[in-house]
Amino acid sequence: MVGRIRVDREPPPIDPAHPARIAISHIYGGQVHWEVRAIKEVCGEDVIDLIPRTKLTDFLPPQIRPASEARSLTDQLRSIKPNHSSYRIVLINGTGTMLGDNLVGAGVFHRLHTLMKSSGLELRLTVVLGANAAQGSMSLWQRWDWVERVEPCSVSVEFIQNFDAMLDFSRLLKMDGYSTENFFDFYINHFGAERTLFPKASRNPAIRIQRRALDEAKSFLAPYAGKRLILLQSKASTEARSMPASFIKALLQNLLGDRENSERIVMLFGSLPEDVEHLSDHLLCCDAFTQESIDRYLALIAVSDEVITVDSLALHVAMGLNKPGKAYFSLSPPEIRLRYAPQISGHLIPGAQDLPYWHKHKSDDAWARWSEAYEEAWGMLSQG
């Protein structure tokens, strides 16, 4: 289900006056700050002469600033185009490269669009995804009627100049608040609006489930009518946020080991841990059903009775759909993510603050050295 967009990339244009330089007229990979890695994939390291972002500023539309740094979004837009009621905005790099980031960002922008429309302003968004955006990101944006188009990557400065204003999420992990704020608060601030404009009941992202995928999910689960359906998402996009096999085994035993739990079905993904064959009648592997279909995955969460997950896409969907459940955290405090989702209980692995990936989002090359420490911490949580 989780992959990378595969794009047949055209070679970036070359400035004839400077053959070793990428032409300034081109934004490659959907990233205004010129992501070195994306350019190296095509050009090779020896032919890169990076153009500083400051050289591009005069060619681009005004950038919307975070609410904490500037005037309100309404004031920013009206200073760009006075006496107008409709604004076309280009969003660079989506709202990140991962599925969860794009799902939450799109859902939060929908809340913003609805609010602005009620005050007489219309926002139309064109999304330029990063070159390494997760497969399915395009679908997460295309389902909203206020999105004019979604570009997979590689657009020109001339293309961007057609818009009234620009939002840039090129350096998502470096943006203020990404690690320390609730995601709704983070995105709404960087969209230029104040979170206080939104009732607390609407501070989870809006989630739109496709009708066809919902019907397919109901048909897939028809043999289990009357059972309590629990969706278990044990893996995140990084090992540092994922459940180890030993914890998954203990969790399944707790969910299904007693006779009174015989009416439960656990929907899961990925390989099973060893020695759970005696629970197989109550386990439903959903990999084949959701393969390459983000819409079916979202639909499974929509029809589930409960969601048990790590800090992942499934958590964001469950929050937006007001699903009850449990969420397990290893890299950040549960209260940050779950601030507006009291129906989900948060659980932090013991000693997480003292482990090396605290307040980070990805494991690195040192993961092999620290994996046992994380597994031990997960084990302590299962014993508690």
Collapsing DSSP to helix, strand or coil, 48 comes out as coil
Q: Whole-angstrom Cα distance, residue 93 to residue 102?
A: 10
pLDDT above 80 for 95: yes
User: What pLDDT is recorded for position 17?
Assistant: 57
Q: What are phi and psi of 57, to 5 degrees?
A: -55, -45
Task: Give, for 283, the enclosing helix (H) or strand (E).
Answer: strand 283-285
User: What pLDDT is recorded for position 16?
Assistant: 56
User: What pLDDT is recorded for position 240?
Assistant: 93
For residue range 42-60, list pLDDT tens digits in order. 444 443 344 444 445 566 7
* Structure-token pair, residue 141: 């944006």
Q: Whole-angstrom Cα distance, residue 356 to residue 331?
A: 9
Task: Look at 276 and 223; give whichever has higher pLDDT.
Answer: 223
Q: Whole-angstrom Cα distance, residue 93 to residue 244?
A: 32
107 touches 205 (CB < 8 A): yes
Instruction: Give, in order, the Cα–Cα distances in Å from 362 to each of 88, 173, 202, 356, 358.
Output: 34, 10, 29, 11, 10
Report yes or no on whether pTM surpasses 0.95: no
For residue range 173-182, list pLDDT tens digits in order. 889 999 889 9
Task: Output the DSSP codes for 111-124.
Answer: HHHHHHHHTT-EEE
Task: Write down the domain spans for the chain.
Answer: 26-202, 211-383
CA 302 to chain centre: 17
* Structure-token pair, residue 127: 């999304």
* Structure-token pair, residue 266: 């656990």
Strand partners, 375: none
Task: Look at 10 and 297; give whichever has higher pLDDT.
Answer: 297
Q: Whole-angstrom Cα distance, residue 327 to residue 334?
A: 8
Q: Whole-angstrom Cα distance, residue 102 to residue 361?
A: 15
Of 3.40.50.2000, 3.90.1150.10, 3.40.50.300, 3.90.1640.10, which CATH number belongs to 211-383? 3.40.50.2000
